[in-house]
């Protein structure tokens, strides 16, 4: 059964819209946990547009499940992770202007620096996951970094869902996951998953965890967060 990591960034976006402390991403994390989340994911962006440094500290101190800190591969972020000691770091590409994480890491291009950060973090006892497209060349490069986990970007599949390219996009995820398993790399997946498109992804070989944010927080506007999380949990169980 795949684990559910709930991404709470969008709660922080809502909070920041008014500059106060409501709604509190920590409170959302605790509700998510109480309703089936196996982990909490938060992306500390360079521009701190949603999650802030103090959110990471509060989450680390108070959640009872696993904190997955998403971040760019920069010296500043590596330092923050070493201090915060989350359960896991997911390294993602980051551009300031993007609306959300667009595409996976180019591990081939940034191999040396990803390898260095992965070694530093894993030596400190923090699991490292690399967010990559389901592309065998990027997977091979990921293997060379020594990262124990990869998170496959499901965005192409999600965009293709219900159309003629869906089967091809899903097959790419299956193939990449199969190769990861063969190489002893743990498999996570996420981005763009929702209540309609999530179930076919569950067939990915070796799948450990799905990270889902936007659809769950969006649904919570209509049904409440507890119901939105438990419904997703039921779908993936």
User: What residues act catalytically?
Assistant: 43, 70, 191
Interface with ligand PXP (CB under 6 A) = 7, 9, 43, 70, 90, 92, 100-101, 131, 151, 190-193, 211-215
The CA distance from 99 to 26, in Å, is 23
Residue 74's nearest CA partner among 99, 57, 91 is 91
Least distance (Å) between residue 34 CB and ligand PXP: 20
Least distance (Å) between residue 120 CB and ligand PXP: 20
Least distance (Å) between residue 131 CB and ligand PXP: 4
The CA distance from 165 to 160, in Å, is 5
Residue 178's nearest CA partner among 202, 204, 158 is 204
Q: What count of other Cβ atoms lies within 10 Å of the Cβ of residue 77?
A: 20
* Helix/strand/coil (H/E/C) assignment for every residue in 87-140: CEEEECCCCCCCCCCCCCCCCCCCHHHHHHHHHHHHHCCCEEEEEECCCHHHHH
The CA distance from 206 to 174, in Å, is 10
Contact at 8 Å (CB) between 209 and 188? yes
Secondary structure (3-state) at 150: strand
Complex with ligand PXP: residue 24 or 102, whichever CB lies closer:
102
Complex with ligand PXP: residue 155 or 179, whichever CB lies closer:
155
Complex with ligand PXP: residue 20 or 213, whichever CB lies closer:
213
Angle 208-93-138 from CA coordinates, rounded to 5° = 60
Least distance (Å) between residue 104 CB and ligand PXP: 8
Least distance (Å) between residue 182 CB and ligand PXP: 23
Complex with ligand PXP: residue 88 or 212, whichever CB lies closer:
212
Complex with ligand PXP: residue 33 or 131, whichever CB lies closer:
131
The CA distance from 40 to 55, in Å, is 12
């Amino acid at each position: 059964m795949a684990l559910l990591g709930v991404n709470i960034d969008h709660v922080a976006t809502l909070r920041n819209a008014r500059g106060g402390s409501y709604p509190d991403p920590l409170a959302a994390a605790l509700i998510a946990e109480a309703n089936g989340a196996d982990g909490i994911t938060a992306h500390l962006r360079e521009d701190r547009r949603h999650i802030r440094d103090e959110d990471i500290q509060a989450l680390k101190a108070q959640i009872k499940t696993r904190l997955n800190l998403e971040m760019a591969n920069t010296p500043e972020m590596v330092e923050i992770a070493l201090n915060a000691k989350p359960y896991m770091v997911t390294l993602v590409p980051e551009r300031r202007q993007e609306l959300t994480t667009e595409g996976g890491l180019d591990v081939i291009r940034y191999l040396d620096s990803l390898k260095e950060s992965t070694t530093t973090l894993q030596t400190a006892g923090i699991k490292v996951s690399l967010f990559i497209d389901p592309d065998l060349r990027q997977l091979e490069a990921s293997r060379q970094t020594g990262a124990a986990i990869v998170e496959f970007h499901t965005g192409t599949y999600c965009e293709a869902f219900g159309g003629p390219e869906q089967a091809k996009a899903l097959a790419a995820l299956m193939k990449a996951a199969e190769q990861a398993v063969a190489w002893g790399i743990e498999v996570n997946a996420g981005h763009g998953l929702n209540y309609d498109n999530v179930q076919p992804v569950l067939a990915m070989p070796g799948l450990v965890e799905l990270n889902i944010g936007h659809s769950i927080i969006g649904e919570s506007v209509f049904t409440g967060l507890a119901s939105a999380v438990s419904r997703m949990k039921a779908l993936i169980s």
